[in-house]
Amino acid sequence: MALVNENFLKLPGNYLFADIAKKVNAYKVSHPKQRVISLGIGDVTRPLCPAVIEAMHKAVEEMAHKETFRGYGPERGYDFLREAVAKNDFALRGIHIDPSEIFINDGAKSDTGNFQDILQRDNTIGVTDPIYPVYIDSNVMAGRAGELRNGSWSDITYMPCTQENNFIPQIPDHRVDMVYLCYPNNPTGTVLKKEELKMWVDYALKNDSLILYDAAYEAFIREEDVPHSIYEIRGAKKCAVEFHSYSKTAGFTGVRCGYTVVPKEVTTTTEDGKQRVALNQIWMRRQSTKFNGTSYISQRAAEAIYTKEGKRQTRETIDYYLENARIMREALTQLGFTVYGGVNAPYLWVKTPDNTPGWKFFDQLLFGASVVCTPGVGFGPSGEGYIRLTSFGEREDVEEAMQRISDCMKLGKCNK
Ligand code: PLP
């Protein structure tokens, strides 16, 4: 008899976005003339840039001819892309990452979820709260999280990030084997400065912990003293794995491509403590068994992001989203909201008025302004009392949404 992996049964349903869709659909049925504006989505809306499209057309054409057709590619990804990454994302910032330390993937979700595969089941885990749910759910599937009690997993160390600590997670007072950090952060849109991130690297080196660093929103960083990579911190190449994605950098959510950096110096120990093992080798072994690579066309598309035109065009699109974020920040601040994020990230994390519960405020915005947000509590217990807004929409929609929220507040409909 084949038995099910019961860890999967522990997972609560993935209800957040389904619940939002249900509420929005019911609202649309009862208000058919009202145009709903969604500031809740985490997907990009602008098309791929011309440099990427041109590279994809060229790659498709190559696939059409016997002489240039490509089948399976190298497991780590094609040299042309790994070399472009090593040069542009690291060497130009003064960081040495060898192309053999870079693994091209089909987006950061797969690798942030799968990396725990190669780590021992009994490892302890620390996560910031609120959080991108993949880090926790993948560890629940592996049997590492314990039991769910009142919205928290018994064997996970939560590091709350709230306005009280200015969204800087406090270093745990005990040893945690694996720490997930994501900066710029989804959902809060906040960042860590270099000296704040250094405290984590020092903690990991001291405790022989591993940092799993998600840099999916790195391309949105605009402030000087915010690190683009954890490897800007001395010692991080000994204790951190870093995940990147082209999804938000270049609108690749539907193309699927990203990469993971596993420096050769990152090692962990066997249970008896007798052997140090390089994670680069183990991850390579895991990938060559379970992953057959990202399509040639996607990798050529990603390579084009690093050309002069590609860099200019992708930056233009990100600037467009960041300008949306600026408009939203200013408008909401003027209305008296306390707003975080939205400077180095596409997300704004907004305190609800008078500590209104997130779902209640969601209803007020939907019914009072026909605007959709995401209740912060959907990302973890410390998200209660906040909502997440995204800046991935069209400019006119963002401006109209701000006007509607303003009208709604003035009429007292959005703060009752
Ligand atoms: N990491 C974070 C923090 C994200 O918010 C997302 C997507 O929303 C991902 C990773 C996954 O991105 P992708 O799999 O599209 O590369």
Q: Please work out, in degrees rounded to the nearest 5, the angle formed at the alpha carbon of residue 30 by the alpha carbons of 27 and 31.
A: 80
Taken in order 96, 98, 99, 103, is the CA torsion positive or negative?
A: negative
What pLDDT sits at residue 413? 77
The closest of 309, 244, 362 to 54, measured between CA atoms, is 309
Q: Name the amino acid, one letter, at 385.
A: G
Rg of the chain over CA atoms, in angstroms? 22
Each residue of 134-167: b (16+ CB within 10 Å) or e? bbbbbbbbbebbeeeeeebbeebbbbbbbeeeeb
Each residue of 196-230: b (16+ CB within 10 Å) or e? bbbebbebbbebebbbbbbbbbbbbbeeeebbbbb
Pick left, alpha or beta for residue 156 (phi over 0 → left; psi -120 to 50 → alpha; otherwise beta).
beta
User: Which residue(s) pair with 380 in the sheet?
Assistant: none
Are the C-beta atoms of residues 52 and 301 closer than 8 Å to each other? yes
Q: Which atom of ligand 1 is nearest to the CA of 108?
A: 16
pLDDT (tens, 9 = 90+) of the chain, 416 residues, equals: 999 999 999 998 877 888 899 999 999 999 999 999 999 978 999 999 999 999 999 999 999 999 999 999 999 999 999 999 999 999 999 999 999 999 999 999 999 999 999 999 999 999 999 999 999 999 999 999 999 998 899 999 999 999 999 999 999 999 999 999 999 999 999 999 999 999 999 999 999 999 999 999 999 999 999 999 999 999 999 999 999 999 999 999 999 999 999 999 999 999 998 999 999 999 999 999 999 999 999 999 999 999 999 999 999 999 999 999 999 999 999 999 999 999 999 999 999 999 999 999 999 999 999 999 999 999 999 999 999 999 999 999 999 999 999 999 888 877 65
What pLDDT sits at residue 42? 83
Q: Look at residue 154 and give its three-state secondary structure.
A: coil
Beta strands in 246-346 (DSSP E): 258-261, 267-269, 276-278, 339-341
292 labelled binding-site residue:
yes
In angstroms, what is the span from residue 259 Cα to ligand 1's centroid? 12
What pLDDT sits at residue 411? 85
Q: Which atom of ligand 1 is nearest to the CA of 43?
A: 8
Mutate to test the pocket of ligand 1, among 106, 132, 217, 253 (most ligand atoms within 8 A of CB): 132
Q: Tokens in use for 250?
A: 């270049």
Q: How far is the C-alpha of 230 from the C-alpha of 214, rounded, in Å?
A: 9
What pLDDT sits at residue 416? 58
In angstroms, what is the span from residue 214 Cα to ligand 1's centroid? 9
What pLDDT sits at residue 48? 98
In angstroms, what is the span from residue 281 Cα to ligand 1's centroid? 25
Q: How far is the C-alpha of 321 from the C-alpha of 327, rounded, in Å?
A: 10
15 labelled binding-site residue:
yes
ipTM of the complex: 0.99
Give nearest CA residue, ligand 1 atom 5: 186
Lining residues, ligand 1, CB within 6 Å: 42, 107-109, 112, 132, 182, 186, 214, 216, 245, 247, 253, 258
Q: What are phi and psi of 64, to 5 degrees?
A: -85, -5
Alpha-carbon distances, residue 105 vs 19, 46, 66, 117, 263 (angstroms): 30, 22, 26, 16, 16
Q: How far is the C-alpha of 374 from the C-alpha of 377, rounded, in Å?
A: 9
Q: How far is the C-alpha of 59 from the C-alpha of 83, rounded, in Å?
A: 18
Q: Enter the pTM of the model.
A: 0.97
Q: Name the amino acid, one letter, at 78.
A: Y
Q: pLDDT digit string (tens) for 314-356?
A: 999 999 999 999 999 999 999 999 999 999 999 999 999 999 9
180 labelled binding-site residue:
no
Give nearest CA residue, ligand 1 atom 16: 107
132 labelled binding-site residue:
yes
Are the C-beta atoms of residues 166 and 196 closer than 8 Å to each other? no
Pairing relationship of beta strands 125-129 and 178-182 according to DSSP bridges:
parallel
Are the C-beta atoms of residues 408 and 369 closer than 8 Å to each other? yes
